[in-house]
A and B are shown apart, each in its own frame.
Chain A
Amino acid sequence: MNRFFALVGGALLCASCIAGETANKLAEKTDPRIDTIMALQLDAAYGEYLASECATCHNETSTDQGIPTIHGQDQKYLINALLEYQDNKRTNETMISIANALNEEEIGSLALYLSGQ
């Protein structure tokens, strides 16, 4: 919970966070594709490789200086955030570009790995 509120101040993943809602509630309300992705055959090892690209900016001990922490975040929340970047509901151009380069299996595997950190 604390981690979620820490995200609210971040510049990337939190552009459209709604304060007071939990990550799960937010995710469940917003997109039915989340469950579809969760039901895919996801590969945490692939997620680990994909997450290494994230680590260039989002380090595990980030102090939230301009870029929020994503390690240890809720899996559905991360999937929802990446889908929102794909849909241009979030505005950070870097993240939109990154999200657009990921398919559903990659989003799911990435979120699976990151949520376990």
Chain B
Amino acid sequence: MSTLTRRQFTKVLGLGAAALSVPIHVIGQAKPKVVVVGGGAGGATAARYVAMNSKGAVDVTLIENSKTYTTCFFSNLYLGGVRDFDSITHSYDTLASEYGINVVHGYAAEVDRSAKTVTLNDGSSINYDRLVLSPGIDLIFDSVPGYSEEAATIAPHAWQAGPQTQLLKEKLDALSNGDSVVMVAPPNPYRCPPGPYERVSMMAHLFKEKGMTDSTITIIDPKPKFSKQGLFTAGWEKHYPGMVEWISPDIHGGIVGVDVNAGTVETDFDTFEGTLLNVIPAQRAGAIAHQAELVDNSGFCQINSDSMRSMVDENIFVIGDASIAGAMPKSGFSANSQAKVAAMHILGDVNDGKTFPAKYSNTCWSMIGTDDGVKVGAQYASVDGKIASTSTFVSQGDEDDAMRKATFEESLGWYDGMTKDMFG
């Protein structure tokens, strides 16, 4: 004889309630199957919203290679010693236990669009009625001559959070006063536009906290300008005078290559030497988007701006960094917002869900120094077939300390809300 725990009893009740809400035409048939590839800001959110809003009427599978997820957002705060690694690492357990999502830890290698299956590296296949691809980015290592996956063990990119982030942290912590860092910043388009510059801020913060005020950070940038540039440069001057130097392509003339063993970055103008190199190469959509032939010449995926549906295959939604989302930056917040639009349309397709005009949001907070937060963001809508901003905002240069502190505290609240919205 078995007895029910309180949690099991609650789940039985929940399933009963769910059964009552299943559309009549679905009763007696197999549940619609939604498969989500990628358990990050886009994929975890999409899986959760489809499962939550279908109340058990849709079978949701989330395929993610990693057992836990470390957020890229706030990983710079970990590098700066402001957050610990555990605080930016999250479990998928609640998505499975509370939302009934079938979480499969494996590498999704192949999509067969005509058979509507996803095949994992272990050879197993999963059928879908609708597929969400949220694979994030792949790094184009050779976009920086001399850089490679192997070279990244010496000069970490840390642009996909996890072991690379920990490796960069270890190397930063091993530096001494007077040592230097040279960052090779990525070309557009790339994940998290303000990210490299927040990272530099947090590196400088770490050095300042350790009394390493003779250390320097040099950014070799392939771009002539960058996100929140005025706010960052003013912040560096205020908090870390003389420690940070940004070198634009007008000055260096172009990045020729890196030698990670020698610790050098060669440009047309000069060769820059660092005790530690942080190389962030160019990026493209994750491999499975290429295998499924959903990408265009840009290396990313065109989507319908009303729904985040692939322009190539109406049964597939591409969200997050892998998509070409018009005016929206590649950010965790954007991916989370796009996931809700996709989830709504998926439920419209398979569960008679109501659909409404898409609204998208993004805010990127960046920490320049302790209690010095800045932000940029916008609201977006589908306009003439593209995602266009309808209202924008950015922190002002003349804000007082109290405002900057409030913005930083706001970012802490956002992180809490965002990760609950992803993982339950």
A residues touching B (Cβ–Cβ < 8 Å)?
11-12, 45-46, 49-50, 52-53, 55-59, 61-67, 92-94, 96-98, 100-101
B417-A101 in contact (CB<8A): no
20 pairs of residues in contact across A and B, judged by CB atoms under 8 Å = A11-B413, A46-B354, A49-B340, A50-B356, A52-B340, A53-B360, A55-B421, A56-B336, A56-B337, A56-B421, A61-B420, A63-B416, A65-B413, A65-B416, A66-B406, A66-B409, A66-B410, A66-B413, A93-B395, A98-B379
Q: Are B340 and A53 in contact (CB under 8 A)?
A: yes
User: Besides the contacts A45-B354, A65-B409, A66-B406, what 5 more A-B pairs have beta carbons closer than 8 Å?
Assistant: A11-B406, A56-B418, A56-B421, A57-B414, A101-B379
Complexed CA–CA distance, A30 and B412 (Å)? 31
| CA of A56 to CA of B421, assembled, Å | 6
The 3 closest A-B pairs by CB, nearest first: A67-B413, A66-B413, A66-B409
Q: Is there an interface contact between A97 and B413, defined as CB atoms closer than 8 Å?
A: no
Q: Which of chain B's residues have a CB closer than 8 A to the CB of A52?
A: 49, 340
- Complex Cα distance, B413 from A50, in Å, reads 19
Contacts of A65 in B (CB 8 A): 409, 412-413, 416
Q: Which A residues lie within 8 Å of B215 (CB)?
A: none
Q: Which residues of A contact B361 (CB under 8 A)?
A: 53, 56, 98
| Cβ of B5 under 8 Å from chain A | no
With contact pairs A66-B411, A100-B391 given, residues A46 and B356 touching in the complex (Cβ less than 8 Å): yes
- A interface footprint on B107-149 (CB within 8 Å = 1, 0 otherwise): 0000000000000000000000000000000000000000000
Considering only CB atoms, which chain A residue lies closest to B362 in the complex? A56
User: For the complex, what is the distance from the CA of A85 to the CA of B78, rounded to whole Å?
Assistant: 34
Nearest-CB distance from B375 to chain A (Å)?
7
* Contact residues of B between 351 and 392, Cβ < 8 Å to A: 354, 356, 359-361, 363, 375, 377-379, 381, 390-392
Most buried by B among A12, A50, A67: A67
Report the minimum CB–CB distance from B231 to chain A (whole Å). Answer: 13
Neighbouring A residues of B192 by C-beta, 8 Å: none
Chain A residues in 8 Å Cβ range of B377: 93-94, 97
Q: Which residues of chain A are within 8 angstroms of B421 by Cβ–Cβ distance?
A: 55-56, 59
Compute how far the CA of A63 lies from the CA of B392 in the bound complex, rounded to whole angstroms: 28
Complex Cα spacing A52 to B420, Å: 12
User: Contacts A55-B421, A94-B375, A101-B391 hold; do A62 and B413 have CB atoms under 8 A apart?
Assistant: yes
CA distance A62 to B49 in the complex (A): 19
User: Which of A46, A49, A63, A92 has most B Cβ within 10 Å?
Assistant: A49
